[in-house]
């Protein structure tokens, strides 16, 4: 099995680790915990959902940093700004 050229890149390693964590969160099936009495929960389903959201955000940040590390390449996808921080949004009056 060969290793990719960027296997020593910390961003690549971080993306792999975050992907593994995200897979584990998805496999935990927090939605099935909701069917059990609260005393039988192994974890709070809301915590699992928050963790998944955080991991997705981290994965997006890693992808943005990887794109920025390749000067001259066009971005693979447009940068998305939340409505309140969009550069074209006018300041509140």
Predicted confidence at residue 57, as pLDDT, reads 94
Q: Where are the alpha helices (DSSP H) in 1-93?
A: 10-27, 30-33, 45-68
Judge whether 19 lies within some domain.
Answer: yes
Locate 69 and state its tokens.
């590390």
| Each residue's pLDDT tens digit, 67-89 | 887 766 665 555 566 665 545 55
| Each residue's pLDDT tens digit, 32-52 | 777 888 888 777 888 888 999
Judge whether 88 lies within some domain.
Answer: no
Judge whether 54 lies within some domain.
Answer: yes
Using alpha carbons only, give the angle 73, 18, 26 rounded to the nearest 5 degrees.
120
How large a percentage of the chain has pLDDT more than 70? 67
Judge whether 93 lies within some domain.
Answer: no
Predicted TM-score (pTM) of the model is 0.59
Stretch 12-27: mean pLDDT: 90
Confidence class for position 2, pLDDT limits 50, 70, 90: very low
Structural domain that includes position 66: 10-70
Q: Report the domain count for the chain.
A: 1
């Amino acid at each position: 099995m060969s290793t990719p050229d960027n296997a020593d890149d910390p961003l690549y390693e971080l993306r792999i680790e975050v992907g593994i964590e995200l897979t584990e969160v998805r496999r935990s099936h927090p939605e099935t915990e909701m069917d059990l009495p609260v005393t039988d929960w192994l974890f709070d389903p809301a915590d699992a959902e928050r963790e998944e959201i955080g991991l997705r955000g981290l994965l997006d940040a890693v992808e943005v940093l990887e794109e920025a590390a390749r000067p001259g390449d066009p971005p693979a996808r447009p940068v998305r700004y939340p409505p309140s921080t969009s550069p074209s949004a006018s300041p509140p009056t």
